[in-house]
Amino acid sequence: MSQTAYKAAGVDVAAGNRLVNGIKPIVRSTFRPEVLGGIGGFSGLFALRANKYKQPVLVSGADGVGTKLKIAQLTGQHKTIGIDLVAMCVNDIVVSGAEPLFFLDYFATGKLDPERALAVIEGIATGCRQAGCALIGGETAEMPSFYSEGEYDLAGFAVGVVEKRKIIDGKAIKPKDVLIGLAASGLHSNAFSLVRKILFEQEALPIDTRLPGLDLPLGETLLTPTRIYSKAILKILKEVKIKGAAHITGGGITENLPRILPEGCAAELERARWPHPPIFSIIEKLGKIDPEEMYATFNMGIGMILVISPRHLERVTAILKRIRQKAYVIGEIVEGRREVHYV
């Protein structure tokens, strides 16, 4: 089949090639010294510096951004959704203590719009620079009739490395350990199906609505990119042992924090110890959602929770202040079943 015939079937190979040429300098800006080769091959090459480790363990993660993509498509703003994609993957692997090494993306659409795709990939590159990992490859798939006009989908894949003896696994957690909550930037990238149902179906709010309490129009507020915590956690690990780390994603604090607790331990959190971004109270009020369900669905202003020994609290607090990462002492570990108690 000729390229002319393929284009008539809905796939523009030339547009894809133009996109590849356009993203080369963007992708190159994320490279680490370990990256071999360039962009355009069949695979990405990364030379692991194994001599830095006694027992290197590779840690991998894959994720997407869910229906937050719908908000980007409604607003026509595509430059930050790629940051969300990187964040959702690297935040999952850094909870093991892993340094993110490289990232790959998958971009699928019905008809390739090179300008829009370039904006998305620029966001992915920004996220990789924030995380300290290299964007070494990916896939752009044009699938006519599979996606509606203007729609696209994203998936991401991150790989990191950690010394085996330094893996954060939660086994050392015990009562009286301190819980530190790292501030979220907003909703991050979870529960947008519920958010869209409340705000756009139930309330029929325009995407550019300005609601009391919000500094930005609604669409921009919802698109605030997910915060990336890898550099903050790695800086702490250079000085202090982290006993456990929980990335607060779908299921909120209620579902995610118990995943790292050993038997005999529970978490006791004091909700008044940290500020809750206004978007959460707006959703709770308009959706008539029970507060307990809010904490079992959304991050409620805390995107990552660290468990540390009380003797390390002052040092960790100083590190976080130095790197300007907002954080709060939100509770402690107590005896009990693997669950969260709110006081």
- Ordered by where they begin, the domains of the chain are 3-166 (3.30.1330.10), 178-342 (3.90.650.10)
Local structure of residue 79 (DSSP, 8 states): S
CB proximity list for 8: less than 8 A, separation 6 or greater: none
CB proximity list for 296: less than 8 A, separation 6 or greater: 251, 252, 254, 255
Helices 81-94 and 230-237, axial angle in degrees (round to 10): 30
**pLDDT, tens only, 131-188:** 999 999 999 999 998 999 889 999 999 999 999 999 999 999 999 999 999 999 999 9
Please report the pLDDT score of residue 7 as a whole number.
59
Q: Are 109 and 147 in contact (CB under 8 A)?
A: yes
Share of residues in the chain with pLDDT > 70 (%): 94
CB proximity list for 172: less than 8 A, separation 6 or greater: 241, 243, 244
Task: Please tell me the distance from the alpha carbon of residue 284 to that of residue 293, in angstroms, as a whole number.
Answer: 9
Residues linked to residue 56 through DSSP beta bridges, in sequence order: 163
User: Is a pLDDT exceeding 90 seen at residue 279?
Assistant: yes
- Judged on CB neighbours under 10 Å (0-12, 13-18, 19+), 164 is exposed
Tokens in use for 321?
């202040």
- Judged on CB neighbours under 10 Å (0-12, 13-18, 19+), 276 is middle
Q: Which of 44, 124, 46 is nearest to 87 (CA)?
A: 124
Task: Please tell me the distance from the alpha carbon of residue 221 to that of residue 48, in angstroms, as a whole number.
Answer: 39
**130 φ, ψ to 5°?**
-65, -35
Strands 340-342 and 265-269: parallel
Looking at the chain, how many residues does it have?
Answer: 343
**pLDDT, tens only, 314-330:** 999 999 999 999 999 99
Displacement of CA 251 from its chain's centroid (Å) = 14
Predicted confidence band of residue 1 (pLDDT cuts 50, 70, 90): very low
CA–CA distances in Å: residue 265 to residues 130, 248, 324:
34, 19, 31
HSE-up of 27 (CA within 13 Å, CB side)? Answer: 23
**68 φ, ψ to 5°?**
-60, -25
Per the rule left: phi > 0, alpha: psi between -120 and 50, beta: everything else, 176 is left
Predicted confidence band of residue 12 (pLDDT cuts 50, 70, 90): low
Classify 45 as helix, strand or coil.
strand
Task: Please tell me the distance from the alpha carbon of residue 249 to that of residue 88, in angstroms, as a whole number.
Answer: 8
Residues linked to residue 99 through DSSP beta bridges, in sequence order: 161
CA angle 219, 117, 10 (to 5 degrees): 115
HSE-up of 131 (CA within 13 Å, CB side)? Answer: 36
CA–CA distances in Å: residue 118 to residues 103, 134, 153, 268:
17, 17, 14, 45
What percent of the chain is helix, strand and coil (3-state, nearest 5)? 40, 25, 40
Residue 208 CB neighbours (<10 A): 12
Please report the pLDDT score of residue 45 as a whole number.
93
Q: Can you give the pTM of this predicted structure?
A: 0.93
User: Is a pLDDT exceeding 70 seen at residue 213?
Assistant: yes
Q: Are 302 and 181 in contact (CB under 8 A)?
A: yes
**pLDDT, tens only, 21-76:** 778 889 999 999 999 987 777 889 999 988 899 999 999 999 999 999 999 999 99
